[in-house]
């Protein structure tokens, strides 16, 4: 009987993979034990409301970004030692978790989640690994529910500005519309521009969408990246105006029930689709403009 010899190359590749899995398994289990109750409470609490519904999306996208960059990070930090700076950060994260969990402060629990993940990465792989994966951790900040007082303070000017623009645009095209503060009167209907329509969290969600686009696309042109990052703010404002206009017109033509029912959720999709289309249009324009600007320099180089 002939016995085939095992493939030594395959075994050498499998053994480190198994060792790596056993090394990280206790850490993953510990993180799940700590933070599954936190996210369960968020899914059944703040994240179930309309103005915080972006939280789970930000979490999933952040984890996807970590998974996407993990192989390159492991390859780059394989021969580098861990950093002792991770231990004080881990202590701070655990203290924040204890305080947030005991007092039911979502802000502290989510900050603890981010800090503990960073601490584990520092301890295991070192500072270079954390530098390579900085964006997913920064992106996670957008899922944190902000204090109500701060949201109310910053949201009111935004709602006023959106209401002002919507009133003047619709009046300019001939609709019977008037405004008192953040209340729009169109025909026989009154609409309150709520936080979920034009609030701070909505703006932050659209900001995160733009930053995610920049990270995924990764343009080589610094001009395009800087321009898009700056213009995300007016794009977010424009998308909010489009959403409120669509809700106002839905209510005007189909009644209050349609405006507050299924079509209200559809208007939320309009918000993100319009923001994404505006970002793509801006990026396309910048690509054309940068190419047109650089073309004379390329022609001169070819002639030389």
From 18, 68, 80, 197, the catalytic residue: 197
Active site residue 101: no
Pairing verdict, β 183-186 and 189-192: antiparallel
| Residue 78, token pair as written in the block | 């394989």
Question: 249 Cβ partners below 8 Å, 6+ apart?
Answer: 170
**Distances from the Cα of 278 to the Cα of 211, 233, 274, 302, angstroms:** 14, 12, 6, 35
**Distances from the Cα of 147 to the Cα of 15, 99, 153, 154, 201, angstroms:** 48, 16, 10, 11, 11
The residue assigned the tokens 């603890």 is: 112
Closest of 198, 201, 209 to residue 276, by C-alpha: 209
Active site residue 218: no
Question: 238 Cβ partners below 8 Å, 6+ apart?
Answer: 274, 278
DSSP 143: G
From 10, 101, 224, 243, the catalytic residue: 243
Mapped onto helix, strand or coil, the DSSP state of residue 64 is: helix
d(CA 112, CA 92): 8
d(CA 24, CA 124): 10
**What order do you get walking across the sheet with 177-180 strand by strand?**
177-180, 183-186, 189-192
d(CA 185, CA 47): 31
Q: What are phi and psi of 226, to 5 degrees?
A: -65, -45
Neighbours of 303 (CB within 10 A): 6
Residues carrying an active site annotation? 197, 243
């Amino acid at each position: 009987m002939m016995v085939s010899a095992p493939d030594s190359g395959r075994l050498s590749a499998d053994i480190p993979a198994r060792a790596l899995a056993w090394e990280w398994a206790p850490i993953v289990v510990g993180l799940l034990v700590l933070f599954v109750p936190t996210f369960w409470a968020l899914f059944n609490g703040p994240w179930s409301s309309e103005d915080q519904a972006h939280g789970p999306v930000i979490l999933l996208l952040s984890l996807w970004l970590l998974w996407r960059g993990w192989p390159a990070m492991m390859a780059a930090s394989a021969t580098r030692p861990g950093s002792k700076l991770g231990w004080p950060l881990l202590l701070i994260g655990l203290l924040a978790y204890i305080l947030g969990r005991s007092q039911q402060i979502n802000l502290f629990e989510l900050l603890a989640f981010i800090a503990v993940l960073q601490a584990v990465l520092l301890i295991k792989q070192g500072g270079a690994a954390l530098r390579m994966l900085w964006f997913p951790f920064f992106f996670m900040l957008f899922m944190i529910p902000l204090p109500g007082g701060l949201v109310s303070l910053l949201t009111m000017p935004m709602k006023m500005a959106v209401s002002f623009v919507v009133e003047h645009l619709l009046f300019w095209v001939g609709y019977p519309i008037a405004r008192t503060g953040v209340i729009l009167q169109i025909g026989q209907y009154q609409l309150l521009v709520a936080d979920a329509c034009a609030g701070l969290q909505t703006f932050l969600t659209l900001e995160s969408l733009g930053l995610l686009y920049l990270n995924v696309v990764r343009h080589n042109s610094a001009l395009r990246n800087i321009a898009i990052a700056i213009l995300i703010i007016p794009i977010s404002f424009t998308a909010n105006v489009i959403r409120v206009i669509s809700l106002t017109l839905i209510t005007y033509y189909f009644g209050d029930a349609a405006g507050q029912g299924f079509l209200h959720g559809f208007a939320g999709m309009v918000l993100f689709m319009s923001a994404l289309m505006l970002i793509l249009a801006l990026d396309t324009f910048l690509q054309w403009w940068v190419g047109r600007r650089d073309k004379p320099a390329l022609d001169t180089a070819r002639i030389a």
